[in-house]
Amino acid sequence: MKVLHVITGLDAGGAELQLAMLLRHTRHESDVVTLYNPGPVAEQIRAAGTPVHDLAMRSNREPSALLRLGRIIRDGRYDAVHAHLYRSQVYARPVARLAGTPVVVTTEHSIGETHIERRPMTRGVRALYLASEHFSDATIAVSDVVRDRLVRWGVPDRKITVIPNAVETAGLAFDPAARERARAKFGIAPDAFVIGSLGRLDPNKRVGLTIEAAAPILGDQCKLLVVGRGEDQRKIAETAARHGVAEHVILAGYQADTAAMMSAFDLYVAVSAQETFGLSVLEALASGLPVLYTTCPALDGIETMRARRVGDSVAGLRAEIRARAERPDRSRQVPAEVFEFYGVRSVVARIDDLYERVLLDHPRRARPADRLGRSPAAEVPRPAAEPRPVPEPRSAAEPRSASRA
């Protein structure tokens, strides 16, 4: 099959990096279109051999961009269009269907209780989402929490398939040499205790809460390393200064190597107000880190000693951080009970199977046999029932980018 992925932008974020990972493992021929802001993830995708087209949209009301997208879809004769993130869903789903694309699929990466991708859930936002959803054959929800929120919003349950985000565990394995290099880069002593935070810097991530809780503990032998960029960066710096710990809170900005950053940490702290999956928590666990988190739907129903759920109080979080700083756990144990669910190959195979299953359920939509001499429905056998994900083997893998939602 030939698949076009349409995504709002390709700056460093969770959905964007999940797409890059999918492209590395899919069995289908793929292209990518961004509405605007190709960003560093587009560079990664192109370097791996997948074309990325940028529509270079300048505003939300740009009909010519829709015409350009429609032309790309028609000229590419894609068997499937897969839309990621709200704005691309609103635009790509109807355009793909009107262009005659046989299969139209959505992944919902980030729908919270009150916001969708940092966008307040107004009646207008919901109406646009549901209007364009009529043109989609299936929606992938990255967790049960996302599925439940979609159903409450009005998306038919029969159209939703839960396929979790994937984690490339081998590529995130602890690397002592990378730890040494990363710490040297930021002037952190080899024996210092490092609290880590990684992700897009926005109000939902509440990095300021981590700073406030850790402030009395920070010093020459205890640092907070904040990896990522975003709208809250200035506010985070101001919070560190207000608590008198600016020299001990290191704002690393965007870093291309997630594995190296995770290797540099001794404790991972994630205190988001809302999450739809909690990918960075899983990545920290894949690096063998102990984790403190406020919410992580990916861990719902999974018992592991490596991650502890904490409340929102400064005092409670401070006590948990202090306990771990005073008795550091540097054993780097990776919890197998977590990663039997999130292996990348099995997750990507389920997405590939979904495209094929939708196409085979609608055989009249299949492209005529003029592209490959046969219809896409004949190119692949009907996929088997969805397999249970299996753990990823530990082998060398390319590093992951270290700034995401």
Q: What are the distances in angstroms from CA 69 to CA 82, 120, 130, 151, 208?
A: 13, 26, 20, 29, 40
Res 397: pLDDT = 37
Higher pLDDT, residue 113 or 245: 245
Listing from the earlier edge strand, what are the strands of the sheet with 307-309? 249-253, 222-227, 193-198, 267-270, 291-293, 307-309
Domain holding 349, by residue range, is 2-166+343-379
Closest CA to 19 of 130, 142, 179: 142
Q: Looking at the structure, do residues 151 and 105 belong to the same domain, yes or no?
A: yes
Is pLDDT at 189 greater than 70 in this prediction? Answer: yes
Classify residue 391: in a domain, yes or no.
no
Q: How much is the average pLDDT of 362-386?
A: 53
Q: Looking at the structure, do residues 162 and 176 belong to the same domain, yes or no?
A: no
Burial of 314 (0-12, 13-18, 19+ CB in 10 A): middle
Classify residue 232: in a domain, yes or no.
yes
Classify residue 79: in a domain, yes or no.
yes
Res 380: pLDDT = 46
**How far apart, in whole angstroms, are the C-alpha atoms of residue 146 and residue 129?**
15
Residue with tokens 């099959």: 1
Confidence of residue 376 (pLDDT cuts 50, 70, 90): very low
Q: Looking at the structure, do residues 154 and 86 belong to the same domain, yes or no?
A: yes
Classify residue 367: in a domain, yes or no.
yes
Q: Looking at the structure, do residues 11 and 160 belong to the same domain, yes or no?
A: yes
Q: Residues 98, 27, 16, 223: what is their CA dihedral angle, to the nearest 10 degrees? A: 170
CATH of the domain at 147: 3.40.50.2000
Res 343: pLDDT = 83
Tokens standing for residue 67: 């015409």
Strands (E), 151-279: 160-162, 193-198, 222-227, 249-253, 267-270
Give residue 78's identity as a one-letter amino acid code: Y
Q: How much is the average pLDDT of 36-42?
A: 92
pLDDT in tens, 295-328: 999 999 899 999 999 999 999 999 999 999 999 9
**How far apart, in whole angstroms, are the C-alpha atoms of residue 50 and residue 196?**
32
Closest CA to 99 of 60, 56, 66: 66
Res 152: pLDDT = 92
**What does the mean pLDDT of the chain come to?**
89
Q: How much is the average pLDDT of 271-279?
A: 91
Query: What contacts 352, CB < 8 A, 6 or more positions away?
Result: 26, 27, 28, 383
Residue with tokens 């730890």: 179
Q: Please tell me whether residue 280 adopts helix, strand or coil conformation.
A: helix
Instruction: Report yes or no: 279 and 142 within 8 Å, Cβ to Cβ.
Output: no
Q: Looking at the structure, do residues 246 and 305 belong to the same domain, yes or no?
A: yes
Annotate 233-267 with DSSP letters as a single string.
HHHHHHHHHHTT-GGGEEEEE--S-HHHHHHH-SE
- Sign of the Cα torsion 312, 318, 321, 327 reads negative
Q: Looking at the structure, do residues 285 and 176 belong to the same domain, yes or no?
A: yes
Instruction: Report yes or no: 45 and 29 within 8 Å, Cβ to Cβ.
Output: no
Is pLDDT at 155 greater than 60 in this prediction? Answer: yes
Res 138: pLDDT = 97
Structural domains counted in the chain: 2
Q: Looking at the structure, do residues 200 and 321 belong to the same domain, yes or no?
A: yes
Q: Looking at the structure, do residues 102 and 59 belong to the same domain, yes or no?
A: yes
Res 366: pLDDT = 78
∠ CA 138-131-362, nearest 5°, is 35
Classify residue 216: in a domain, yes or no.
yes
Tokens standing for residue 70: 């429609």
Q: Looking at the structure, do residues 214 and 80 belong to the same domain, yes or no?
A: no
Q: Looking at the structure, do residues 204 and 241 belong to the same domain, yes or no?
A: yes
Q: Looking at the structure, do residues 187 and 306 belong to the same domain, yes or no?
A: yes
Classify residue 395: in a domain, yes or no.
no
pLDDT in tens, 210-222: 999 999 999 999 9
Res 60: pLDDT = 79
Q: Looking at the structure, do residues 117 and 176 belong to the same domain, yes or no?
A: no
Classify residue 305: in a domain, yes or no.
yes
**How far apart, in whole angstroms, are the C-alpha atoms of residue 175 and residue 32?**
32
Res 383: pLDDT = 54
**How far apart, in whole angstroms, are the C-alpha atoms of residue 371 and residue 359?**
16
Classify residue 393: in a domain, yes or no.
no
Res 120: pLDDT = 81
Q: At which of 337, 371, 393 does a domain end?
A: 337
